[in-house]
Amino acid sequence: MSTDGHQEGAAVAVERLLVPLSDTVTVRQTVGYAVQSGLEDADSLECHLVVAMPYDADVPESDRYRDDAENLLSRAQSWVEEDAGTADVTIETATIGVDEYLFGPRDYAEIFDAYAADHGIDRVVIDPEYQPGVTAQLLQPLERELERIGLTYEEAPVERPARRGRLVGETEDFDRLFATFWISYGFYLVLGDPTYWFDLLTGAAVAGIVAVSLAQVTFTVPLDRVQSPIRVVRFAIYVPYLLWEIIKANIAVSAVILRPSMPIDPSLSRVNSRVRSGLPLTALANSITLTPGTLTVRATNQELLVHSLIPDAREDLFDGGLERGIRFVFYGRAAAAIPSPRERDDAEIVGGEEL
Amino acid sequence: MIETLQFWAVVVLLGLGVFFTFVSTVGVLRLPDIYARAHTASQTDTLGAGFALAAVAVAFGWQQATVYSVLLLFFVFITNPTAAHAIARSAAETGVEPLLTEDPDDADDDANTAVESEGEVQ
Amino acid sequence: MTPWSLETVFLGGAAAFVVLAIAMFYRAVVGPTTQDRLLAVNVLGTNTVVILALLAAGLDQAWFLDVALIYALLNFLMSIAISKFTVERGGVL
């Protein structure tokens, strides 16, 4: 790869691209598009591949984050080399945001802007699925922030895995509107009087406003017309099981607290759960917290740091009953039959310094 | 007859609710650190509030107030683990050290030997 | 048949919850950490919701439940605000 391409030709002939990377299914295509489009406009290309570290990268697990980032960068570098062929392409890689505590889309937009200013970037190419470590989908707010800052960006026109095209995107929006509307209408009517015309009318108006303004933030994951209702039903089956677990744990904890000697045995353990980030992990972490005796202190990606008060509660956690329940809710009965965290070696007791 | 049954159902449910809230209050006052207290605080939120609100629902019989009680319970269930987690996390981030059993290995040597030897890595 | 009226039972239950809530104040005042106070206030919030519901049954004022519901929702907003505030900058509450 030539490094001095931009000094030979006219200054305009060098295109400097910034490509923020995250580990998604479309990252390969994004890199490919960036190289191709960059070489169309200019003779030589300077391709800056960066990974932005998310806000929670400074926790002890950060080594893994850093390894993942390095890994991704080296893969991306080889992709660029592969796509560039004989063309004049310079590659720069960087990990940014390590000391910045990135949290919201604004932080990301600002750090990209700062990087662009430092390196004279002409254009930013963004992966449509871009999602740096955090659970919420970031693309739309990020684009808004980039526009606000005035940084030129472009969304790579990748082919997403099936059912995610433009057209389907509209039915997806419709699904969100539809679901939000009926949920808020139902809630309104429960509080009001479903037989009184005034409540029906005002409820419809309010639900309409709520649906239009909030549908996009209510569901971060696209709804599935078949799966989503089934999940609601399975969740209704899960609730009695959760209640039973809560009652058992309550009695155990009460017995310990009321005994004058109070034989508690607090410990911290780390559990690698086998549920996806986002709603399933939230549901699992909340179920664990709701059960007295276990308390989720931290939830990063799939790793839960759990404080347990008594050995019995820790044993229950390692047996993974709640995890199976959550897997049943989100993935179905077949997925629920997995080995417990203890059997898979995914659970360990850690010291206080892990916090 | 029905009324007697309803009465005793209410008394039992309310009694359980008060009992678990009592345990929870004792726990919050007695336990040594913030993490341990958070466990027992969730007792109020789950069974304490749960049984008390169930008593209210039983007393109102089948009418809209019952739906309200169930909704209330639903909100309490959804919101409080979130709050407990936020509090524990903020404690962790501001550097509050948890009180742990000194050596997890001789705390109990029964069924979990495999897991505990894993824990020695720390 | 029944030794007390249903109203008495509910008012008695509410009184018990008030006593427990007052005991919880000890933790809110003493602390020692901010999070301890926060936790105590959070539990107090739940207690308040329950007390409101018990009063609704005891005084036969079903609209008290509306107040309780709003209180529960505000509690929820508070917890969301707190979690966002703490996680965002890792700041001290």
Under 8 Å CB-to-CB from B109, ≥6 apart: which residues?
Answer: B116
**A123-126/A153-155 β-pairing:** parallel
A117 CB-contact burial (10 Å; exposed 0-12 / middle 13-18 / buried 19+) = exposed
Same domain, A174 and A120: no
Same domain, A207 and A277: no
CA distances from A243 to A14, A56, A104, A220, A290 (A): 63, 32, 35, 27, 10
What's the confidence (pLDDT) of residue A133?
60
Distance from the Cα of C1 to chain A's closest Cα (Å) equals 31
What's the confidence (pLDDT) of residue C18?
93
Cβ separation C33–B69 shorter than 8 A: no
Same domain, A145 and A96: yes
Same domain, A306 and A326: yes
Asked whether residue A59 is domain-assigned, the answer is yes
Distance from the Cα of C66 to chain A's closest Cα (Å) equals 9
In total, the C-beta contacts within 8 angstroms joining chain B to chain C are: 164
Q: What is the mean pLDDT of chain C?
A: 81
Cβ separation A352–B98 shorter than 8 A: yes
The parent domain of residue B21 ranges over 2-119
The DSSP secondary structure of B49-109, one letter per residue, reads HHHHHHHHHHHH-SSHHHHHHHHHHHHHHHHHHHHHHHHHHHHHHTTPPPP--S-HHHH--
Tell me how far apart the alpha carbons of residues C15 and A278 are, in angstroms, rounded to a whole number.
41
Same domain, A141 and A187: no
Q: Which of A254, A266, A292 sits opposite B101 (nearest CB)?
A: A266
Same domain, A143 and A271: no
Asked whether residue A161 is domain-assigned, the answer is no
Contact B92, A298 (CB under 8 A): yes
Distance from the Cα of B3 to chain A's closest Cα (Å) equals 27
Asked whether residue A160 is domain-assigned, the answer is no
CATH of the domain at A74: 3.40.50.620
Distance from the Cα of C42 to chain A's closest Cα (Å) equals 14
Asked whether residue A104 is domain-assigned, the answer is yes
What's the confidence (pLDDT) of residue A11?
46
The parent domain of residue A170 ranges over 166-218
For the stretch C20-57, pLDDT in tens is 999 888 888 887 777 788 888 888 888 898 999 999 88
Asked whether residue A327 is domain-assigned, the answer is yes
Under 8 Å CB-to-CB from A185, ≥6 apart: which residues?
Answer: A203, A204, A207
Cβ separation B98–A351 shorter than 8 A: no
Tell me how far apart the alpha carbons of residues C86 and B45 are, in angstroms, rounded to a whole number.
22
A65's tokens:
């984050």
What's the confidence (pLDDT) of residue A61?
53
Q: Taking 50 as the threshold, does the pLDDT of residue B99 lie above it?
A: yes
Q: What is the DSSP letter of A100?
A: T
Same domain, A51 and A103: yes
Contact A21, A76 (CB under 8 A): yes
Asked whether residue A125 is domain-assigned, the answer is yes
| pTM confidence score | 0.64
Distance from the Cα of A106 to chain B's closest Cα (Å) equals 22
Cβ separation A298–B119 shorter than 8 A: no
Contact A77, A49 (CB under 8 A): yes
- Alpha helix positions (H), A120-196: 139-149, 166-191
Give the CA angle between residues A156, A159, A161 to the nearest 5°: 130
A326's tokens:
């959550």
CA distances from C25 to A347, C20, C28 (A): 37, 9, 5
Please name the chains neighbouring A, where neighbouring means 3+ C-beta pairs under 8 angstroms.
B, C
Of all residues in chain B, what percent carry a pLDDT higher than 70? 80
Residue A192 in contact with partner chain C when CB distance is under 8 A: no
Q: Which of B20, B81, B115 sits opposite A290 (nearest CB)?
A: B81
Nearest to A238 by CA among A246, A227, A226: A246
Residue in chain B closest to A353 (alpha carbons) equals: B97
Q: Give the three-class secondary structure for C28.
A: helix
Tell me how far apart the alpha carbons of residues A132 and A7 are, in angstroms, rounded to a whole number.
34
Tell me how far apart the alpha carbons of residues C6 and B55 are, in angstroms, rounded to a whole number.
11
Residue C33 in contact with partner chain A when CB distance is under 8 A: no
Strand partners, A125: A154
Under 8 Å CB-to-CB from B16, ≥6 apart: which residues?
Answer: B47, B51
B15 pLDDT band, cuts 50/70/90, is: very high
Residue C36 in contact with partner chain B when CB distance is under 8 A: yes
Q: Which of C66, C69, C89 sits opposite A101 (nearest CB)?
A: C89
Same domain, A83 and A141: yes
Cβ separation A101–C69 shorter than 8 A: no
Cβ separation A104–C89 shorter than 8 A: no
C19 pLDDT band, cuts 50/70/90, is: very high
Residue B76 in contact with partner chain A when CB distance is under 8 A: no
Residue C1 in contact with partner chain B when CB distance is under 8 A: yes
Please name the chains neighbouring C, where neighbouring means 3+ C-beta pairs under 8 angstroms.
A, B
Cβ separation B21–C1 shorter than 8 A: no
A218's tokens:
């209510």
Strand partners, A154: A125
Q: Give the three-class secondary structure for A240.
A: helix
For the stretch B26-85, pLDDT in tens is 888 888 888 888 888 877 777 888 889 888 888 887 677 788 888 888 888 877 787 788
Contact A77, A93 (CB under 8 A): yes
Distance from the Cα of A101 to chain C's closest Cα (Å) equals 7
C26 contacts in chain B (CB < 8 Å): 29
Domain count, chain A: 3
pLDDT tens-digit profile, chain A (355 residues)? 444 444 444 445 677 888 888 777 777 778 888 888 877 777 788 888 888 776 554 455 566 677 777 778 887 887 787 777 777 888 888 888 776 666 677 777 888 888 888 888 888 888 877 776 655 556 777 777 778 787 778 777 776 654 444 444 567 778 888 888 898 998 888 887 778 888 889 999 999 998 888 877 777 666 677 777 888 888 888 888 888 888 888 888 888 888 888 788 888 888 887 777 677 888 888 888 888 888 888 877 677 888 888 888 888 888 878 888 888 888 777 777 777 777 776 777 776 666 6
Distance from the Cα of A212 to chain C's closest Cα (Å) equals 21
Asked whether residue A256 is domain-assigned, the answer is yes
Same domain, A200 and A250: no
Domain count, chain B: 1
Same domain, A266 and A214: no
Percent of chain A that is helix, strand, coil (3-state, to 5): 55, 15, 30
Number of other CB atoms surrounding residue A118 within 10 Å: 9
Cβ separation A103–C88 shorter than 8 A: yes
Asked whether residue A110 is domain-assigned, the answer is yes
Cβ separation A103–C69 shorter than 8 A: no
Lowest mean pLDDT among B12-16, B26-30, C3-7, C85-89: C85-89
- Could you give phi then psi for residue A50, rounded to 5 degrees? -130, 150
Say what the ipTM of the complex is. Answer: 0.81
Same domain, A265 and A238: yes
CA distances from C43 to A253, B38, B49, B87 (A): 17, 10, 10, 12
Tell me how far apart the alpha carbons of residues A350 and A119 are, in angstroms, rounded to a whole number.
43
Number of other CB atoms surrounding residue A261 within 10 Å: 6
Prior bond of C32 cis (ω within 30°)? yes
Q: Give the three-class secondary structure for A246.
A: helix
C87 contacts in chain A (CB < 8 Å): 55, 103
Helix B2-30 × helix C6-30 angle, to 10°: 10
User: Cα dihedral angle (A31, A34, A37, A41), rounded to 10 degrees?
Assistant: -140
Contact B100, A350 (CB under 8 A): no
Same domain, A297 and A340: yes
